[in-house]
Amino acid sequence: MAHPNVYTVIMSDHANAVNIAKRPYHHGDLRSALIAQGLRLLAERDAETLSLREVARAAGVSATSVYRHFPDKEALLTALAHEGLVQLGEAQKAADRAAGGGEAGFAATGRAYVHFALANPALFRLIFASPALAASDVEERRGTEAGALLQVHAAQLAAREGGEVEIHALRSWALVHGLAMLMLDGQIGPDEALLDRLL
């Protein structure tokens, strides 16, 4: 039986923001419905105030139903962080493709990274605070779209300019992540012209 209050998450091609489209819930896909509702709620508040009970209520199911898929809040937050990382990678891939790849594409992926952070602050912070996505899990991060794009562009940069691929990758990531955090924390304004100059 369909439930009218369940949503699916779709990335906007232009704003890199999480948009919500209404979709009937089917019991076979409860885990995805719970993640979609968790993402929707993260667009309104921070991860600390999110509760399993609230996500269940938003999905139109009982609180006990949630525990079949997520034994605790940390498990739900980890799933949301993974989905956020997927969406970040998709936004960067679209930006790279639109810019035609190469150096312009690399710069575009950096701008997409910052845009995603500004459009989805709670989700962005969760992605990089999640224990499941900790710095020690290098191989898993490389396996994501975002990680793979960074490695490809860093390798191209190393081929042009010399130096180690890993150092180019880390320097580039540190630049865009630092810019994103400075803008999120209000240390500098969300200045598109500045991004163009720096990236």
CB atoms within 10 A of CB 129: 13
Task: For 54-86, write each residue's pLDDT tens digit.
Answer: 999 999 998 888 988 999 999 999 999 999 999
55: in domain? yes
Is residue 129 one of the residues assigned to a domain? yes
Both tokens assigned to 20 = 């919500």
Q: How confident is the model at residue 144 (pLDDT cuts 50, 70, 90)?
A: confident
Residues 61 and 109 in one domain: no
In a domain, 21, yes or no: yes
Q: Tokens at residue 198, please?
A: 């720096």
Domain finish residue from 27, 48, 74: 74
Domain identity same for 65 and 127: no
> Strand runs (DSSP E) across 80-199, as ranges?
none
Q: Are residues 68 and 104 in the same domain?
A: no
Q: Give the CATH number for residue 51.
A: 1.10.10.60
Closest CA to 16 of 99, 103, 106, 84: 84
Domain encompassing residue 148: 81-198
Q: What is the DSSP letter of 25?
A: B
Count: domains in the chain: 2
* CATH code for position 136: 1.10.357
| pTM for the whole structure | 0.80
Extract the tokens encoding 136: 């020690």
Provide CB contacts within 8 A for 190, sequence distance 6+: 118, 183
